[in-house]
Amino acid sequence: SLAKISSSALSGVFTLVQSPLLQGGVLAAIQDFLQALVLSKTANLGYSQLLKSLTDPFLRPPSSADSTVIHRHSYHSVARCVAALCSACPRETPGTVSGLLQEVKNPRAPDSARVLALLCLGEVGRSGSLGRSEEVQGVILEAISSTSEEVGPRRQYLLLHSLKDVISACPSSSLSPHVESVWALLFQNCECQEEGTRNLVAECLGKLTLVNAAKLLPRIQKHLSSPLARSTVVTAIKFTIVDHPAPIDSLLHNCIGDFLRTLQDEDVDVRRAALVMFNSAAHNKPSLIHGLLATVLPQLYKATQIRKDLIREVEMGPFKHTVDDGLDVRKAAFECMYTLLDGCLEGLDVLQFLDHVEEGLKDHYDIRMLTFLMLARLASLCPAAVFQRLDRLIEPLKATCTTKVRAGSVKQEFEKQEELRRSAMRAVAALLALPDAQKSPSMADFAGQIRANAEMASIFQSVQGGDGGGLALEGSADSR
């Protein structure tokens, strides 16, 4: 019976609600369960009892004797469950909203209670109504000015974050009357020095453009003035490229080339933003860029090259530290190349593509890890082209597999080198699987080296699932 739930399953449900791992379908199922429970009118399982069980752990100030730590993610889950109860019992909502407002205003309440109350107000407002109370706006804005680190730091950033959520959640019809005022506000902040704030502005701009793309997309094109504005606008275009068909697609098709010209921008951050946007297009809507590949690929390949003018030395006490300001651009460029293998392979000259993969095999740790994956993918997609370059490709792989970390290096260096060797060996295994791979003198020589070296043979076998893969076959073929 339902009465037995309170002593058996329900305590487990409330424990699960506080789990930092709770999300998606399980959280939705718990919300449905609580709604069904409160509507069942079962004794001792009414609205107020369930609400109390959900929120009580957050209302007590932490004590030294209490070892239970409530994870930050749990606040959001509980707020969703509170909103689900309000949705099931709309008559209870006004009283609940009033209580939540009092909790936020109470200076003696623990921060955990005030944070939960604010999140509950947000979730209740998202799914229903907060009663159009002027007090709600005042309480929330005052909370944003709070000196508490949890309740309200960085007012501008938080207001923009709230604006982003409003734009994402509201239908176009509700947003339309406010587009002009919001648009002006966003462009007042598009040159903010803080990158996190600019990214929020960009996301707001991109999503707001979807409200009336025909009118707003041409306007966004006109704001390519300063480097900061250009990076914001280009990033905004990334957020107009959604992962499902949208009315903006035909308009984007006609103008995305103008935004991609910023791949040649003099500012390194603008070039990086352009590459991220290009990657989003290649991943979500490859049709947008198919016709532009001939123009864009030379710029993409250029972005993979190491720029010595972007490498500088910084003194840190008695030590000199090398900083490569072009690394993020190169990483973004190689990520684009990897994405192109999925949706735009037919538009690539694979041998030319391999020239730049080969250079990436000798670059920074992050880039090498990515190019090892690309090489394995190319061996599967374009075996004939990869075979033509086999002797050249195997050399940097061999260098990675045989490099030793200097004695006395920190633990992280050993771990990074080990992961590099394993990833390089996976690429080697993919190359060995090519038809006629042993006809390459360099490949045959390296395969022999692996067999003769117990450590490398062990790594090879482990990345092949422990059976040695094609290496054992090649060994037996050599012995005949």
Q: Residue 56, class by beta-carbon neighbours within 10 Å (0-12 exposed, 13-18 middle, 19+ buried)? A: exposed
* CA distances from residue 118 to 16, 90, 141, 155, 166 in whole angstroms, order as listed: 21, 19, 11, 15, 16
For residue 150, the model assigns a pLDDT of 60
In this predicted structure, what is the pLDDT of residue 151?
55
Domain-located, residue 360: no
The strand ranges marked E within 285-325 are: 311-316, 319-324
For residue 300, pLDDT over 90 is answered with yes
Q: Are 111 and 154 in contact (CB under 8 A)?
A: no
**pLDDT at residue 302 is higher than 80:** yes
Q: Are 341 and 286 in contact (CB under 8 A)?
A: no
Rounded to 5 degrees, what angle do the CA atoms 374, 379, 380 make?
Answer: 100
Q: How far apart are CA 242 and CA 257, in angstroms?
A: 17
Residues near 235 by beta carbon (within 8 Å), at least 6 away in sequence = 198, 199, 202, 203, 206, 273, 276, 277
* Residue 266 predicted with pLDDT over 80: yes
d(CA 37, CA 15): 17
Assess whether pLDDT exceeds 60 at residue 241. Answer: yes
* Residue 75 belongs to some domain of the structure: yes
Q: Is 45 helix (H, G, I), strand (E, B) or coil?
A: coil
Pick the closest to residue 474 from 463, 452, 382, 455 (CA basis): 452
Position 344 confidence tier, pLDDT thresholds 50, 70, 90: very high
pLDDT computed for residue 221 by the predictor? 87
Residue 129 lies in a domain: yes
pLDDT of res. 476: 34
Q: Which domain-ending residue is among 119, 153, 187? A: 153
Average pLDDT on 162-188 reads 88
Q: Which of 153, 169, 199 corresponds to the end of one domain?
A: 153
pLDDT at position 153 over 80: no
Quote the Cα angle for 88-89-94, to 5°.
130
Residue 109's alpha-carbon distances to 113, 143, 332, 440, in angstroms, are: 6, 13, 46, 73
Task: Find the domain containing 28 and state its range.
Answer: 1-153
Structure confidence at residue 480 as a pLDDT band (50, 70, 90) = very low
| Contact present, 288 and 256 (Cβ < 8 Å) | yes
Q: What is the pLDDT of residue 69?
A: 65
Least trusted range by pLDDT, from 107-116, 237-246, 371-380 = 107-116
Would 238 be classed as within a structural domain? no
β-pair partners for 322:
313
What is the C-alpha separation between 73 and 75, in angstroms, rounded? 5
- Interatomic CA distance for residues 275 and 270, integer angstroms: 9
C-alpha separations of 165 from 40, 52, 123, 445 in Å: 34, 28, 11, 58
Contact present, 373 and 408 (Cβ < 8 Å)? no
Cβ pair 30, 76 in contact under 8 A:
no
Q: What are the beta bridge partners of residue 324? A: 311
Residue positions counted in the chain: 480
Q: What is the mean pLDDT of residues 217-232?
A: 89
- Domain count along the chain: 2
Q: Backbone dihedral region of 464: left (phi > 0), alpha (psi from -120 to 50 degrees) or beta?
A: alpha
Residue 12 lies in a domain: yes
> Which of 110, 128, 153 is at the close of a domain?
153
pLDDT category at 319 given cuts 50, 70, 90 is: confident
**Residue 8 banded pLDDT, cuts 50, 70, 90:** low
Question: What's the rounded Cα separation, in Å, for the pair 354 and 2?
Answer: 65
Per-residue pLDDT band for 340 (boundaries 50, 70, 90) equals very high
61 domain-assigned: yes
CB 434 within 8 A of CB 386: yes
- The CB density around residue 398, as the number of other CB atoms within 10 Å, is 19
**pLDDT band for position 389 (50/70/90)?**
very high
Alpha carbons within 13 angstroms on the beta-carbon side of residue 359 total 16
3-state secondary structure of 289: coil
What's the pTM value of the predicted model, to 2 decimals?
0.79
Q: Looking at the domain assignment, is residue 124 inside a domain?
A: yes
Backbone angles phi, psi at 130, to 5 degrees: -100, 10
Residue 343's pLDDT band (boundaries 50, 70, 90)? confident
Query: For 95-152, what is each residue's pLDDT tens digit?
Result: 888 888 888 888 888 888 888 898 898 888 887 777 666 678 788 777 776 666 665 6
pLDDT of 68 over the 70 cut: no
Over range 348-353, report the average pLDDT: 96
Tokens 């992961």 found at: 419
Averaged pLDDT score across all residues of the chain: 86
Q: Is 400 inside any structural domain?
A: yes
